[in-house]
Amino acid sequence: MRCPVLMQVCEKDEIIPVSSARETEKLLGAYADARYYPIGHFDIYQGEHFEKAVEEQLGFLQKHLSAPKMGS
For residue range 7-59, list pLDDT tens digits in order: 999 999 999 999 999 999 999 999 999 999 999 999 999 999 999 999 999 99
Flag whether 72 is in a domain: no
The residue that leads in pLDDT, 71 or 63, is 63
pTM of the shown model: 0.84
Flag whether 18 is in a domain: yes
The residue that leads in pLDDT, 39 or 69, is 39
Distance CA 7, CA 24 (A): 9
Flag whether 71 is in a domain: no
Q: Which domain, by its residues, includes 38? A: 5-65
Query: Residue 2: its pLDDT value, please?
Result: 83
What is the total count of domains within the chain?
Answer: 1
Has residue 72 got a pLDDT over 60? no
Distance CA 22, CA 4 (A): 16
Flag whether 35 is in a domain: yes
Query: Residue 1: its pLDDT value, please?
Result: 58
